[in-house]
Structure 1
Amino acid sequence: MTWSMQPLGEGALLLECTPVDTLTNRLMLALADQVTALDLPGIEVALPAWSSLLVLFDPLCLTRTRLEAVLTALVREVEPAPARPARVVDIQVRYGGEDGPDLPEVAARLGLSEAEVIALHTSQIYRVMMIGFAPGFPYLGPLPAALDLPRRSTPRTAVPAGSVAIAAGMTGIYPDRLPGGWHLIGRTEAQMFDPLRDPPTLVVPGDGVRFNAEAQGRRGAEGGE
């Protein structure tokens, strides 16, 4: 693995790692926990992403040189976060129909039935790799290989809140009405982001997410009422 660090203004330091894969993500999660646990005045927050870690700090209490030295030492010793998430959040999903308008096209392009797409999507626990794009939007992976599709060639200008989507080896949930280019296969009533909640996001990096198909979604995918 290759590590690099660069400043982002006076009070932020970005640590990046390659390659971009699930092991790197587990290292970022573990490193974020270690930085958060440090008894080091000046560190404000450690925000993990797929293959990077953003550390915000107070330059009046902690110099960038000191922080770089601390992070370098942690990187040498860090062990990946456990492969199995400690917390799993269940998400109820209505698949197909108006809630998942792309499900028929997804199934056709993959050579599967709609019921098979649903069965594959609900067959495993996904890891929250990162929260990004919009507050509360979880990047969940890895997606089963049989469901791998690139993003839509033409993004939508507005995707309904709660839409469950897949693209580029990942699945995600739109927390609000937003533009987006992922394939919409279902929808949930789960509130992914609430600024008055602590934490405001329903899931955090490192959590697990398990999708459960509501009975109505299954009947719709099988051609029933």
Structure 2
Amino acid sequence: MGIPHTQSFGITLPNSIGHYPLGDQALVLSFGDTISEAVNARVRQVATHIENWSQPGIIEYVPAYTTITIYYDPLLTSYNDLLSALQPIVRDIAENQEYKRVKKEIPVYYNGEDLAYVAQYNGLSEDEVVRIHSEGEYLVHMLGFVPGFPYLGGMDKRIATPRKDVPRLRIEAGAVGIAGQQTGVYPMTTPGGWQIIGHTPLQLFDLSKESPSLLEMGDCVRFVPITYDEFIQLKTKSNGH
């Protein structure tokens, strides 16, 4: 039996937003079951308010595809206190509000070790995979897995490819991958099971910067094919050499 989207705690949130506890120190807001731009916009609206929230006892919040999880100190606040404080925040969110999305370009040298497999799996040439992948416009639905890793929606199903059965123990930072009908970029060296089709010279996560993550939830991303020489030049520049 799945987790219900709304449980009865004496308080109902407006705008059809569900809620349920995650243990005894977290509250999950649920905005539905469907991954979409509309749901993403509603998650972002509420997350923006929570970012500057003065509610006592809040430890952190984690926005995802269709939820926001709020972690709190039960000695300083309670589940119902949070629900009461959330009511004015969620009351006025617009069902169909459109955001002006920040557009960002990610240069990619399409030399990935799995590019040939993605092409073969989908009955395409490697050039067709590159063309389809770089023609798309992608929405950053959420960041997760490791700091700064963007989960990008909007990829053409013609190049959708399952994750690897056995993940690699090491994938280099900057690797651009495909998993199912999602695409994403590894911001740091880590194990992973996505099909790697290319690499970007950009540094997606840098703790020395005030805003460490290059990409943020809600950004609009386009991939731009580059040559090997351009990759080396941009890599050198990105590293500050």
**Shorter-normalised TM-score: what interval?**
0.7 to 0.9
- Residue 154 of structure 1 aligns with an amino acid whose one-letter code is V
Among 136, 139, 163, which residue is 1:127 paired with?
Answer: 139
Letter in 2 for 1:156: R
Q: Which residue of 2 aligns with 1:13?
A: 27
Amino acid at match of 1:31: V
Q: SS of the counterpart of 1:108?
A: helix
In the alignment, does 2:63 pair up with 1:51?
Answer: no
Q: Does 1:105 align with 2:117?
A: yes
Partner residue, 1:202: 214
1:136–1:201 CA contact under 8 A, matched in 2 = yes
Of 168, 171, 178, the residue aligned with 1:159 is 171
TM-score (norm 1): 0.82
Aligned counterparts of 1:216 and 1:58: Cα–Cα separation in 2: 51
1:147 aligns to 2:159 (yes or no):
yes
Counting matched residue pairs gives 213
- Structure 2 Cα separation of the partners of residues 140 and 89 of structure 1: 13
Say which SS state the counterpart of residue 166 (structure 1) adopts: strand
Distance 2:135 2:99 in 1: 15
TM-score, with normalisation over the residues of structure 2? Answer: 0.77
Q: Which amino acid aligns with 2:110?
A: Y
Instruction: Name stretches of at least 5 consecutive residues in structure 1 with no aligned partner.
Output: 218-225
- Residues 42 and 81 of structure 1: CA distance in aligned 2, closer, same or farther (over 3 Å): farther
Check conservation: 1:6, 1:13, Cα contact below 8 A: yes
Q: Which has the higher strand share?
A: 1
2:48 corresponds to 1:33 = yes
Identity of aligned residues (%): 35
Aligned residue type for 2:18: W
Distance 1:161 1:29, change over 3 A: same
Instruction: Provide the residue aligned with 1:221 in structure 2.
Output: none
Cα distance per residue 1:61-115 (max 9 Å; x no partner) = 644322112334544542258556521121111002xxx0111111111111111
Aligned AA for 2:32?
Answer: T
Residue matched to 1:117: 129
Q: Secondary structure of the residue that 2:129 maps to in structure 1? A: helix
My pick for the range that moved more, 205-214 or 25-34, is: 25-34
Question: Which residue identity is paired with 2:185?
Answer: I
Tell me the equivalent position of 1:64.
79
CA separation of 1:84 and 1:183: change in aligned 2, threshold 3 A: farther
For the residue of structure 1 that corresponds to 2:40, the secondary structure is: helix
Does the CA-based 8 Å contact 1:85-1:127 persist in structure 2?
no
Which shows bigger deviation, 117-126 or 52-61? 52-61
Q: Which runs of 5+ in 2 are unaligned?
A: 1-15, 230-241
Higher relative contact order by CA 8 Å / sep ≥ 6: 1 or 2? 1
Distance in 1 of aligned mates of 2:185 and 2:74: 36
Correspondence 1:88 to 2:103: yes
Aligned residue in 2 for 1:220: none
Aligned Cα RMSD in Å? 2.5
Residue type matched to 1:192 in 2? L
